[in-house]
Amino acid sequence: MSDSLFADASKRLEKALKYVSISEDAIARLKYPKASLTVSIPVRMDDGSLQIFQGYRVRYDNTRGPAKGGVRYHPKVSLDEVQSLAFWMTFKCAVLDLPFGGGKGGITLNPKELSKLELERLSRGYIDAIADFIGPDVDILAPDVYTNSMIMGWMMDQYCIIRRHISLAVVTGKPLSIGGSVGREEATATGAFFVIESIMPKFKRLPNETTVAVQGFGNAGAVLAELLSQAGYKVVAISDSQGGIYAKKGLNIPSIRQYKASSKGIKAVYCEGSVCNIVEHEVLTNQELLALDVDILIPAALENQITEENVYDVKAKYIFEVANGPITSAADNILAARGIYVVPDILVNAGGVTVSYFEWLQNRSGLYWKLEEVNQRLKAKMVEETERIWSISQELDISMRTAAYVHALNRLGESLDAGGTRDYYINSI
């Protein structure tokens, strides 16, 4: 267990406990997940064969409200990973002061190997298996790695079929036509952009003087790269699972997104209408991207990308974690010793769950907001909590990551202690 992702994630909690005054009862409860479920999902494939897929759902904590968390489809999904993600989600919701606990789910597979019909059968089968474990007041699902609004729509529909009533709020990140919220698809990137815009002025960094590399050109990474480019930052490198590209003069992100949408690949291109011209660029690996001499590095792919093995290659001055857990705890300590400033995932990528909360509210009220209102509410939340965590880090002279956990622990501890503590019962005898 010592080399598990969850064991490594828990080390961040231990460091923050030195700076908070919460009960031993609360600490004990936060060290273990509330409930874990492992299921087998039989799926009839297009060729008539039957395949069995392994699925998971973890509710880590629900003290502050129903569990909330995404569902990812990936070959490396495991119970250890899902439990770690649910742990992070618990603290993420507390950081943003959302009325949710932390949950997460996943299925072990390579979704690129399945047809759309097979993916639909798999998604509905997953809900068949976990329907008694979830609900709009129990545990709410959302998209994550290799899941999207259509898959969320299938899951919501299947839950409604099982329950025999409409329950839009059981899933967030749905298509707009069946209860989704405007701004949800871009929310992780938009929230991260607000954090970056709040932090960089504190170091007197101007956008047009700041270079950026983004590892991961999926939904969050691609949208964030474009937002930063529009704001004047020089995005010089991006990558996806196949590798990346680098151009010292900067990349035209909209044209690259257009090219990827049509070809499923990445290339430095400039597109006007349907005509695309190749721009001079270097091809590089994901590891080479992490080692680029840039001002800002944005890991927006998967966990454990920066480890003890490659941490000394990192040259960026600032790291904003858009992925969950992209830096191991050991590498984190080395980065801090080297003076590299890291802004943690439980703050940076919290825009997704925040707008999921907005969608849940809209589903339950039947009142839907315009994009401007969603983004205004999101910005207010992200900026407010960024400023609070910055103040804690400065006051206690600790890293932004430890400050974020301190901030979350104070809120979680208060909620956990509201049910009674050892001291309460001893003093009442």
For 3-25, the pLDDT digits (tens) are 688 888 788 888 899 999 888 88
pLDDT category at 273 given cuts 50, 70, 90 is low
Q: What is the Cα–Cα distance from 186 to 300, expressed in whole angstroms? A: 14
Determine which one of 104, 234, 260, 381 is catalytic.
Answer: 104
Whether 106 and 56 have beta carbons less than 8 Å apart is answered as yes
Q: Tokens 């507390």 label which residue? A: 94
Whether 88 and 404 have beta carbons less than 8 Å apart is answered as no
- Report which of 200, 227, 366 is spatially closest to residue 300, judged by C-alpha positions: 227
Q: How much of the chain is helix, strand and coil, in % rounded to 5?
A: 50, 20, 30
240 — phi, psi (to 5°)? Answer: -125, -165
pLDDT at 276 over 70: no
Q: What is the Cα–Cα distance from 9 to 417, expressed in whole angstroms? A: 23
DSSP state of 63: S
Residue length of the chain: 429
Tell me where in the chain the CATH 3.40.50.10860 domain(s) lie.
33-178
Model pLDDT for residues 58-114, shown as the tens digit of each residue: 999 999 999 999 999 999 999 999 999 999 999 999 999 999 999 999 999 999 999
pLDDT category at 178 given cuts 50, 70, 90 is very high
Q: Averaged over 127-148, what is the pLDDT? A: 96
Q: What is the Cα–Cα distance from 358 to 82, expressed in whole angstroms? A: 24
DSSP state of 103: E
Exposed e or buried b per residue across 175-187, where buried means at least 16 C-beta atoms within 10 angstroms of its C-beta: eeebbbbbbbbbb
Model pLDDT for residues 40-51, shown as the tens digit of each residue: 999 999 999 999
Q: Tokens 């990973």 label which residue? A: 81
Q: What is the Cα–Cα distance from 219 to 227, expressed in whole angstroms? A: 12
Q: Is 104 a catalytic residue?
A: yes
pLDDT at 156 over 90: yes
Tell me where in the chain the CATH 3.40.50.720 domain(s) lie.
181-429
CATH class of 33-178: alpha beta
**Computed from CA positions of residues 268, 272, 274, 277, in that sequence, does the dihedral angle turn out positive or negative?**
negative
pTM: 0.91
pLDDT at 429 over 80: no
Q: What is the Cα–Cα distance from 217 to 221, expressed in whole angstroms? A: 5
The sheet that has 341-343: what strands, in order across it?
282-284, 243-246, 234-240, 211-215, 296-299, 318-320, 341-343
Per DSSP, the three-state class of 115 is coil
CA–chain centroid gap for 368, Å, is 24
Q: Please tell me the predicted confidence (pLDDT) of residue 2.
A: 43
Model pLDDT for residues 302-354, shown as the tens digit of each residue: 889 999 999 999 999 999 999 999 999 999 999 999 999 999 999 999 999 99
Q: Averaged over 153-176, what is the pLDDT? A: 97
pLDDT category at 262 given cuts 50, 70, 90 is confident
Q: What is the Cα–Cα distance from 299 to 206, expressed in whole angstroms? A: 21
Q: What is the Cα–Cα distance from 245 to 372, expressed in whole angstroms? A: 33
CATH of domain 181-429: 3.40.50.720
Q: What is the Cα–Cα distance from 172 to 352, expressed in whole angstroms? A: 10
End-to-end CA distance of the chain: 40
